Amino acid sequence: MVFNIENALIIMSVIIGIILILLLISGNIKEYISREFYSLGTLNQLKVCGRKANKAIDESIRKLCEIDDKMSVFKENSEISKINQYAGKQSLIVSEDTYYVIEKAIKYCMLSEGAFDITIRPIVALWGIGKEDVRVPGSSEIKQKLKVVNYKDIVIDKNNSSILLKNEKQEIDVGGIAKGYAADQVRDIMIKNKIKSALINLGGNIFVIGSKDDGNAWTVGIQNPFKRRGEFALTISVINKSVVTSGNYERYFETGGKKFHHIINPSTGYPSESDIISSTIISDNSIDGDGLSTGTYIMGVFKAMRLIEEMKGIDAIFITKNKEVYVTSGLSGKVTLTNNEFVYKNSI
Ligand code: ADP
Ligand code: MG
């Protein structure tokens, strides 16, 4: 080969290319791999940085589909559907996943004093939430179905992992908590694959692993409940945390000039009309955040602030109808209002 400038340049670029590939393989250059997919009735995104990123994403998608198969009320053969079919008749032995979710769900039913109640399914079905045929049911239908809503009728037995609903016509729906459990499972898969930095987004249910590749904390935006998706009311800066929001803008329909959303107050059978329109929980485990965000949304800001301030390691941000923002004490210095229509109202 003749040695001239042209050849020297080619050789140099090849060497640089090889060095770059080696750096990538050894993990010294950080690059996120991002994948979007549909599961758990919603669009999900995993953004993962690390040598085993693709493997971790594949495993996560498989686990999410498994959780969906076990826990969806829209799948006839799911464990949840079977528990509902057996209601008042016999108990069902369920998988570890389903048992754990139901056990945790009952804890949040109790803590929220029934504001969160997974036996809400007959009412959710009446409204057509999660389906095409949404409608406003008649008040007598609601009254009738409300009679069977009572989480105290869920009988669980740890010895054989079984679940029983005491009365016929009772039905459970873990839609208000399963995504949190799913996010925790993805977190565990990421950690097993030595992923140091990742963003898990299960339909707005966020879990951040580590900090960003530049070493800074992640900034998570909290949706402005009055605006189009993607416009934030505030941001929060977090490392290794779950950030879960329940909001009136997530799923709703409008009729006769009135908006009906998907979070039902079990004491009325109608969509919650507490002063809270957006409830965000920041926690180490997403299952806690998911159960509590739905529950506190219904409880209203006074009770919700009191409950979360009492819980160690769990924080919250509540936005009220009046654009007031309540933040628990553990979050001081971490929240930034990004829209000046909102005002802090930190004490109750
Ligand atoms: P999203 O599913 O939009 O993330 P949530 O976590 O707040 O929102 O869960 C809302 C879902 O929980 C509803 O779609 C319904 O399936 C169920 N749900 C509605 N009201 C209640 C309630 N009071 N207690 C428990 N689950 C509920
Ligand atoms: Mg929830």
Give the whole-number percent of the chain exceeding pLDDT 90: 81
Torsion angles phi and psi, residue 98, rounded to 5: -65, -40
Per-residue model confidence (pLDDT) at position 3 = 63
Per-residue model confidence (pLDDT) at position 252 = 75
Per-residue model confidence (pLDDT) at position 18 = 65
Per-residue model confidence (pLDDT) at position 293 = 97
Per-residue model confidence (pLDDT) at position 23 = 56
C-alpha R_g of the chain: 23
Residue 222 has pLDDT above 60, yes or no: yes
Ligand 2 centroid, distance to 288 Cα (angstroms): 9
Task: Give alpha helix (H) positions in the chain.
Answer: 5-26, 53-71, 79-85, 96-111, 121-127, 139-146, 178-192, 286-299, 301-310
Band (14; pLDDT cuts 50, 70, 90): confident
pTM of structure: 0.91
Tell me the mean pLDDT in the region 281-298: 98
**Positive or negative: CA dihedral 205, 211, 214, 220:** positive
Ligand 1 atom closest to Cα of residue 298? 23
Question: Which residues sit with their C-beta closer than 6 Å to ligand 1?
Answer: 116-118, 120, 124, 129-130, 173, 175-176, 179, 205, 246, 250-251, 262-264, 266, 290, 293-294, 298
Q: Is 140:147 a contact under the CB 8 Å cutoff?
A: no
Residue with tokens 């409008």: 254
Tell me the mean pLDDT in the region 66-87: 98
Please list, residue by residue across 86-118, b when 16 or more beta carbons sit within 10 angstroms of its beta carbon and e when fewer do. ebeeebbebeebbbebbebbbebbebbebbbbb
Per-residue model confidence (pLDDT) at position 29 = 52
Ligand 1, atom 6: nearest CA belongs to which residue? Answer: 176
DSSP type of residue 264: B
Per-residue model confidence (pLDDT) at position 238 = 97
Distance CA 314, CA 323 (A): 23
**Positive or negative: CA dihedral 306, 309, 338, 48:** negative
Pick the ligand that lies closest to the CA of residue 41. 1
Contacts of 208 (CB under 8 A, 6+ apart): 198, 199, 200, 218, 220, 238, 239, 240, 241, 243
Ligand 2 centroid, distance to 52 Cα (angstroms): 30
Probe ligand 1: pick from 134, 262, 287, max atoms within 8 Å of CB? 262
Band (330; pLDDT cuts 50, 70, 90): very high
Q: Is 316:304 a contact under the CB 8 Å cutoff?
A: yes
Residue 54: CB atoms within 10 Å: 13
Query: What mean pLDDT, rounded, does the chain reach?
Result: 92
pLDDT digits (tens, 9 = 90+) for 228-268: 888 999 999 999 999 999 998 777 777 777 777 899 999 99
3-state DSSP call for residue 216?
coil
Ligand 1, atom 3: nearest CA belongs to which residue? Answer: 250
Q: How far is residue 81 from each of residues 20, 93, 148, 265, measured CA to CA in Å?
A: 51, 13, 16, 22
Distance CA 202, CA 177 (A): 12
> Six-digit token pair at 108?
């949040």
Q: Is 74:80 a contact under the CB 8 Å cutoff?
A: no
Torsion angles phi and psi, residue 267, rounded to 5: -90, -10
List of domains in the chain: 31-66+176-344 (3.10.520.10), 74-165 (1.10.3980.10)
3-state DSSP call for residue 268?
coil
Pick the ligand that lies closest to the CA of residue 116. 1
Strands (E), 185-340: 197-202, 205-209, 218-223, 232-238, 241-247, 252-255, 258-261, 276-283, 315-320, 324-327, 335-337
